[in-house]
Structure formats: structure tokens, C-alpha cells
Amino acid sequence: MGEKTKKQLILEAAAVLFRDKGYPATSMRDLARAVNLQASSLYNHISSKQDILREICFGNARRFLLGIDHIEQHHRSATDRVAALIELHIQIATEDVTSITAFNDEWRHLEEPALTRFREWRKQYEARFRRIIEEGMENGEFRAGDPQITLYTVLSSLRWVYDWYGPNRRVSSGKLSESIINIIMGGLRRGDAKN
Amino acid sequence: MGEKTKKQLILEAAAVLFRDKGYPATSMRDLARAVNLQASSLYNHISSKQDILREICFGNARRFLLGIDHIEQHHRSATDRVAALIELHIQIATEDVTSITAFNDEWRHLEEPALTRFREWRKQYEARFRRIIEEGMENGEFRAGDPQITLYTVLSSLRWVYDWYGPNRRVSSGKLSESIINIIMGGLRRGDAKN
DNA sequence: CCTACCGATCGGTAGG
DNA sequence: CCTACCGATCGGTAGG
């Protein structure tokens, strides 16, 4: 179990470096220095640089998929489900900012076959999210619109939290979710303004 | 002027490579191959790899700053200004997708002093955008909220267009702007739903 | 977990 | 615009 902890330390240090410099610009010597090891000693805990990226990306993909599983089971209306999904993204982002940023920005450096698997998972996640938006549009909870454009606008609007939360924790995770849910659900415009 | 054209070709090829592989993973040999040159011959047109990144990032920063200049002069209400800013982002993204993606994702690989200068420009742009949101909240056009959180949510919601537009041109730039303005201004929820 | 080291590739220069 | 080449650094292995 001493082994296990060391590997975890390496993965965490790698996430920080990948976030700050990106995967290709992070050398195994950088990483070794961060955990007080020689570069060659890293290979007692991980099998390759690519292996580290895969663990980070797959681990986070899993968190999102488990999250949407739970939400589909415990919420019924499209409004509740979208609100819960927004909360999920904020919660994941705020409880492990560095890992999620690496996941978001560096997945494209995955090699095959991991890359295809990762894209598959993401496609599934997006399809389920889009289905919820479509249901909301069909049953009148949401205004009509292009579900794909709506999906990407919502998903994308959550991404800044990954880059921003951490150095700027002046706002609690709960307050942040509430603010963002308000903006996404209700828009900028005041409710009593002209349509 | 043959020189000038060749440099432009190099910058465009570099933008494609930076978008696809990222700045650190793009080698000067990759770039040379893309423009049918030997790696060493690139240096007759550009002075360094860093020089290419700087031109791409500064050029796009300029487009955004000129855009917001124009909007502040020609629009008065916060609603019009935010709508015009959204259109600006979509327009810039759709008329030169590759360059803008490199600008968005690779600027952090700028070296000093370019990095500081770039951050400065971005800070100014964000401050002006935020000021418009604050004015809208003060005069009642927009619902009250945290201007900083609102700013980032709006800015971020526009970012997916950079990654997505290009292979997916099934939607015109105008239609896309209209849809996104609707979502950001009015939110997901139907206007007649409970608050 | 270390020392020693590998072949490959990097950004860039010299010189023409 | 090319050939030839530089020192530095890369991810990773051998062997203990």
C-alpha cells in the first residue's frame, strides 16, 4: 500500500503539470523532480507517460458517467435534471480542479485505442444530456430551439469553472452552482422585459 | 511580395498544426513538411517557433479589441452591446476557425514578455465586457447577479463554437448567432414558466 | 530506487 | 532555399 500511495502522488503531480504546461511539454524529468525521484524510477509505478494521461482521463470520464446515471435515476423533470447536471459539473470541478482541467484539455493527446474509447464515452454522455434537453423542449419546460446548439452552449458555459476555480475560491461551490443555474435557466434578461 | 505570401502560408499551416496537436507537440519539421520546405528554410520567413505563436495570438487579440471598440461606439443599450459581442465572437470564430482555436488554447505557451502583454490585453477586454454587464444590471435590463460569474459563463458559453464550427457547417453563422443570443439572453426556461 | 545510457528528435545555426 | 550539423533534451531500458 506504500506503492499505491506513491502512484497516487505521481498521478496528482502529473495532473498539476499537465494543467500548467500541457501533456507534451511536461517531461518525465519534470514529473520526477515534482515527486523527488529519478526519471527512471517513475517506471516502477507507472508503465509510461501515456499511461498516466489515460488514468486521469478515464478516471474523470467515469465520474461524469456515474454522475449522470445517478441523476437519471433520482430526478424526473428536465429542469431538475439539467440543474443537477450543472451541479455535477461544478462539484466535480471544485473538488478536484487540477485533474479535471487535464481531463478537459489534454485528452486529445491520448493514443489509440484509448482515444477512440474516450471519444465513445464522451459521445454517450453528450447524447444522454441532449436527450434530457430534447425532453424539456418537447414537454414545454424549455423554449423550443436546436437541441445540439443548446447542449454545447450549456456544456461550454460550465467549462470556465475548471480554469478559474482554485485560485479564486472567494465563492462557495453551492453559491456558484446557484448563480450559474440561474443564468442558464433564466438568461441574462430580466423576466419582465419584452420577449 | 512573394515573401509575404509564403510567410502567410506558414502561419496558416502552423495554426492548423497547433490546433490539431498543440504548440509543444508541433515540430518545425512537421510545419516544414506542411509547406514543402526544409525545416531550416522556415527561418528565412520567421525568426522562431515562438514568433509564429506570437503572431497568431496577437493578431487575434487585435481582432477582439477592434471589435469591442466598434461595438461600444455603435451600440448603446447593454442588451444590444452583449448581442453584438456574441455576434463578434461567432463571426471571428466562423471566418477563421483554426487560427482562433490556436489563439484560445495555445496562448499559455507564449514566453515572456509576450505572455504578460497578452494577459494584459485579455484583462482589458474582459473588464470592458464586464462593465457592459454591470451597466445592464444597474439599469434593469439584466437581472441582478454576480457580474464576474455572469461574464465568465457568457464568454465560456461561446467557446465551443471554436472547436466545433468547421467540420459542422450545417448551420449558417447568422442562424448560429441568433440561436445563441436567444439562449444566453432568455435562458432555457420558457418565458411563462414559474420564476 | 539508483547510475548509466540508448536512439530519436528537438529548435536552431553555419555556410553557401 | 538547401545540406550538414550542433548541443540539448526527450521517453524509456538495462542492470543491479
Return the closest nucleotide (C1') to the Cα of B24.
C10
Which of A182, A188, A192 to mutate to test binding with chain B, by most B CBs within 10 Å of its CB?
A: A188
- For chain A, how far is it from start to end, CA to CA, in angstroms? 61
CA distances from residue A125 to A95, A119, A131, A146, A169 in whole angstroms, order as listed:
20, 10, 10, 18, 28
Would you state the pLDDT for residue B3?
Answer: 44
Would you state the pLDDT for residue B165?
Answer: 81
CA distances from residue A24 to A21, B13, B25, B129, B141 in whole angstroms, order as listed:
8, 20, 6, 33, 46
Find the residue closest to D5 using CA and C1' atoms.
B40
Residues B36, B106, B153, B184, Cα dihedral to 10°: -10
Q: Do A193 and B164 touch (CB under 8 A)?
A: no
Under the banding of pLDDT at 50, 70 and 90, the label for residue B96 is: confident
Judge whether A172 is closer than 8 Å to chain B, CB to CB.
Answer: no
Would you state the pLDDT for residue B195?
Answer: 41
Find the residue closest to C10 using CA and C1' atoms.
B27
Q: Do B193 and A25 touch (CB under 8 A)?
A: no
Q: Which of A115-119, B82-86, B102-106 is least confident?
A: B102-106
What pLDDT digit, counting tens, does each position of B3-16 carry? 468 999 999 999 99
Would you state the pLDDT for residue A194?
Answer: 44
pTM of the model: 0.91
Question: Is the pLDDT assigned to residue B193 strictly greater than 60?
Answer: no
| Closest CB to A186 among B21, B156, B187 | B187
DSSP A50-100: HHHHHHHHHHHHHHHHHHHHHHHHH--SHHHHHHHHHHHHHHHHHHSHHHH
**Mean pLDDT, all residues of chain B:** 92
| Closest CB to A186 among B109, B171, B189 | B189
**Residue predicted with more confidence, B171 or B32:** B32
What pLDDT digit, counting tens, does each position of A54-89 carry? 999 999 999 999 999 999 999 999 999 999 999 999
| CA to C1' distance (Å), from B38 to D5 | 14
- Asked if strand C comes closer than 7 Å to A40 Cβ, the answer is yes
Q: Distance from A2 to chain B by nearest Cα, in Å?
A: 34
